[in-house]
Structure 1
Amino acid sequence: MSNVDASQVPTHRAPVKAALASWIGSALEYYDFFIYGTAAALVFGKIFFPSIDPKLGTIAAFATFGVGYVTRPIGAFLMGHVGDKFGRKKILTFTLLLMGLSTFLIGLLPTYGQVGTAAPVLLVLLRLLQGLSASGEQAGANSMTLEHAPPHRRAFFTSFTLSGTQMGLILATLVFLPISALPEDQLLSWGWRVPFLLSAVVVAVGFWIRRSLPETPAFEAEARSNAVARVPVADLFRHHTPDVLRVIFAALVSVVSTIVSIFILSYGVNTMHMPKSQMLLLLVCANIVALAAIPAWAALSDRIGRRPVFIFGALGCAVLIWPTLWAISRADVTLVFIFGILLSGVVYSAANGVWPSLYGEMFSTRVRLSGMAIGTQVGFALGGFAPTISAAIQQPGPDGWMPVAVLCTASCLVAAISAFSARETCKIPMDQLGTRGVGAARGASALA
C-alpha cells in the first residue's frame, strides 16, 4: 500500500465536485427507488393484487417493495468486486443506467386486470433489478466522496450522498402529490405511471453529471502501487469480518426510514383515513429538514467523533417512534407533523448523516466499496421487509400500532450497540484506515 495519504494530496476542487456529483446522482437514482415505495403504499395493492383481501393486498404490495432488498446483498458482492477492482466511477455509471431502465419499464407494465398473474410477476422481476442497482449506488458514491474529502471533513463531505437520497425522496413525493389528487379511476389507470416514465429524464441528467466525475486519489494510488486486491471480497472477509458484521447490525437503523416512508404512509391513509396529500406533505417537510440536518450532524461528528452522533440518532429514533405512531393513531395532524419531522427529519438524520463515514472508515481502500456494499445491503435487506412485517403484525384497534413500535425500537437498539462496539476513526488518516491496531489516539497524534 502506498505510504502517501491520498486524501491529503491537493486536489483543488475535486472534493466539492465529487460531493456535488454524488449528491445529484444519488438524488436522481433514489427518486426512482422511492417512487416505487410510494406507489406500493398507495396504488400497487389495488392494481396488481386486486383479487385478495385488501389487508393481504397491502401486505403483498409491501412484499414487492421488500423483495428489491433480496438482490441487494447478492448485488453487493458483484458491485463491490467491480468497484474495488476497477474503480468507483464505473460502478456509479452502471447503477444509474440499470435503475433508470428498470424504473421506466415498471411504468409500462400491464396491470392484473389486463394480463392476470403475469403482471405481479413482471413487477417483482423489475423490482429485483432496482435492488441490484441500489446495492452498489450508495457504497460507490460514499467511497467516492470519502476518498476525495479533506482529512478533517470526511464526514461532512460524505454526508452529501445521504442528503442526495433525501432529495430523491422529496422529488418522488412531490411528483406523487398532484398524481394522488387525481380521481381514483384515473390514478389507478394511468396516473401512477407518470412518475415511473419520468425516469427517462432522470437517467439522461444523471449520466451527463457522472460521466465527467474523476476517479478518487486513494484508488488511483492503490492502482499505481499495484496494491489493488485481486479478489477484494476474499480479502475483505480475511481481514474485516468483524467490521462487516458491525455494519450489518448498525444498518438496521434503516428500519426507521422504511417504516416512516412506507408503513406510516399506508397506516395514515388506508387505516386512519388521513388525506393522502397531508401524509405526503409530511414526508416532504421531514426530508426538507433532513437536507439541512444531515450535513450539520456530519460536521459535528468531524469534531466529536462518529460513534456518539450515530448512537444518539439510533437511540432517539427508538424513543420517538412511539409518539409518532400514537399521533397517527389519533389522526392528530398537528402532532403527526411535530413528531414525524422530529423523528425523520432531525433525529434520524444524526444516524443517517454519519453512517457513510462511520462504515467507510472501518475499511481500507482495497476493500472499502465491498465492505460498505455487503455490510449495508445485508442490513438494509432486513430493514427492507420492515413495512411487510409491520403490516402483518399490526393489530386491530387504536393501539394496534404498538407491535410496529416495538420492532422499530428493537432494531434501533441493536444498531446503537453495534456502533458502540466500533473503533472511533474520525482522526485517523486515510492511508491508515482499516489497519489493525490503529486507534483514535494514534490518528489524533498523526494529525496534530
Structure 2
Amino acid sequence: MSDPTQLRRAVASSFLGSVIEYYDFLLYATASALVFGKVFFSNLSPLAATVASLGTFATGYLARPLGGVIFGHFGDRLGRKRMLVLTMTLMGVASTLIGVLPTYDQIGTLAPVVLVLLRVAQGVAVGGEWGGAVLMSAEHATGRRGLWASFTNAGAPFGMLLSTAALNGSAAMMDEQAFLSWGWRIPFLLSIVLLAIGLFVRARVEETPVFASAANASPPRSAPLLDVLRHHPRALLLGIGVGLSPFVLQGTLTTFLVSYGVQAGFARQQVLNGLTLSSGLAVLGIVGWSALSDRVGRRPIVLAGAVAAAAYAFAIFPLAGSGSVGLLTLALVLGQSIVHPMTYGPLAALYAELFATRSRYTGASLGYQIAGLGAGLAPLLFAQIQASTGGGGTGLISAVIAGFCLLTVVCTVALRETSRTDLVSAAGHSGVSR
C-alpha cells in the first residue's frame, strides 16, 4: 500500500521536477524562435538563421530517446528516485551554461557548436526525467492514476509559462539592443535557483512501492530495453503512434506559431503574452482531461482530442494571420488549453500502463520520447515548407498536422483500454487489442 504522504510528495516532486525541466527545455524553444537566430547565427540571412536556430532546437528532441534509454535502463535496475536527481542536475547545469555562452560575434562558429552540445545535454536530461517522474506518481498511486500521473505532464505548460514569462519580463524591461545583448541570458541563469529548490523537494520522496516490491521478488532476466523490444514491441509502436500528433501540435503552438506570429506582423510581446496565458490555462486542461480519463477511459478522451485537433489544424493559421491580437490569443488558448490537453494529458498514465514494472521506465520513456520527436522536428519541417513556398504553405502544414492526428486515431483504436490495469500485476500484458 502506498503512504498518502509519500503520494503527495511524489506528485509534488514530479510536478516541480517537470516544471523545472521544461522551464529549461522550452525556454530554449522560445529563445530559438526569437533570439538565437540573431545571436548565434548572425552570419546568415534572417530566414536561414530562423531555420538554423530551429534546427538546434530540434537536436534536443533527437537526444531525448537516448536519455530515455540510458536513464530508463538504470531506473529499471536501480530505482526511479536516483535517476531523477541526476536528470535534474544535468538539466540545470546545461541551461545555466547556455546563459553564459559567448555569441557568434565573440567566438565565431564555436558558439553554435557549443550551443548544440548543451542542447543535446538538455535533451538527454528531459528524456530521462519524464519517465521517472511519471512513475513516481503512478506507482505511488492506488487509484485515480490518470489524475496523479498527469501532474508530470502539467508541469510542461507550467514550465512554458514560467520560461515565457521570464523571457517576456526581460524583454519588457529593456530595449531591443540590450535584450539581444544580455537580457535574454537572465532566464537561463535563473535555472540554478530552480535546481536547488527542486533537489531539496525531490530528496524527501521515497522509492515507489511497486518498484520496491518487484526488485525484492526477482532480478530482471534481461536488459530492460531488450525486454521491451521482445515482449512489448506492438505496444511500443502503437504508443509512439498515439503520442505523435500531440507532440506535433505542441511544437506548432509553442515554437513555430511564435515565429509565424512575429513574421505576420505581431509584436514579440503580443505573441509571448498569448503564449503565457494559454500555457497557464493548459495546466487546468491537462489535469481536467486526465482526471476524466480515470472515469471514462483513456481511449475515448484521446480519440475525441485527435479528431478535434485535426479540425483545429485548419483554423490555426487563419486565426494567427488575421492581424487581430484577440484572434491570435484565441488560437493559442483554444489549441494549447483545450484541444492539445485532450490527447496529451492522458499519455502519462497510458504509457505507464503499457509495460511491466522492471522495464516500465525504459518502455514508457522510449515511447514518449520517440513520439516527442514530433515536437522537435515539426517546427523545422514547417519552417522549411514556409521557406520553399515563399512564406506561404500553411494549408500544407495544416494537412500534415491532420495526418498525424489520423495516425493517433488508428493507433488508439488498436490499443486496448488500459485505465483499469493493476501496475503491480502488469507484467507481460501488452496493452494491444487482439
TM-score by length of structure 2 reads 0.95
Partners of 1:228 and 1:433 in 2: CA distance = 15
| Equivalence for 1:168 | 159
6, 29, 39: which one aligns with 1:14: 6
190, 195, 198: which one aligns with 1:203: 195
138, 145, 148: which one aligns with 1:157: 148
| Equivalence for 2:429 | 436
Partners of 1:407 and 1:438 in 2: CA distance = 28
Partners of 1:73 and 1:437 in 2: CA distance = 20
1:399–1:125 CA distance, 2 compared to 1 (3 A): closer
Partners of 1:149 and 1:351 in 2: CA distance = 22
| Equivalence for 2:169 | 178
| Equivalence for 1:297 | 289
| Equivalence for 1:255 | 248
| Equivalence for 1:81 | 73
| Equivalence for 1:126 | 118
Partners of 1:171 and 1:272 in 2: CA distance = 25
Q: Is the 8 A contact 2:2 2:141 kept in 1?
A: no
* Counterpart check, 1:341 vs 2:329: no
SS at match of 1:13: helix
Q: Tell me the matched-pair count.
A: 430
How far apart are 1:180 and its partner, in Å?
2.3
Give the fraction of aligned pairs with identical amino acids, expressed as a percent. 37
Partners of 2:15 and 2:200 in 1: CA distance = 14
258, 270, 280: which one aligns with 1:265: 258
358, 364, 374: which one aligns with 2:356: 364
Matches for 1:42-441 after TM superposition, within 5 Å? 42-151=34-143, 153-181=144-172, 182-253=174-245, 254-269=247-262, 271-394=263-386, 400-436=393-429
Partners of 2:430 and 2:281 in 1: CA distance = 39
Larger mean CA deviation between 98-107 and 180-189 belongs to 180-189
Partners of 1:436 and 1:160 in 2: CA distance = 25
1:239–1:437 CA distance, 2 compared to 1 (3 A): closer
SS at match of 2:4: coil
Partners of 2:188 and 2:194 in 1: CA distance = 10
Larger mean CA deviation between 399-408 and 416-425 belongs to 399-408
SS at match of 1:322: coil
Partners of 1:44 and 1:239 in 2: CA distance = 43
Larger mean CA deviation between 112-121 and 337-346 belongs to 337-346
Partners of 2:277 and 2:21 in 1: CA distance = 20
User: Gaps (5+ residues) in structure 1?
Assistant: 1-8, 441-448
Partners of 1:428 and 1:376 in 2: CA distance = 19
Root mean square deviation, CA, Å:
1.7
Q: Is the 8 A contact 1:394 1:403 kept in 2?
A: no
User: Gaps (5+ residues) in structure 2?
Assistant: none
Letter in 2 for 1:91: M
How far apart are 1:439 and its partner, in Å?
9.0
Larger mean CA deviation between 335-344 and 141-150 belongs to 335-344
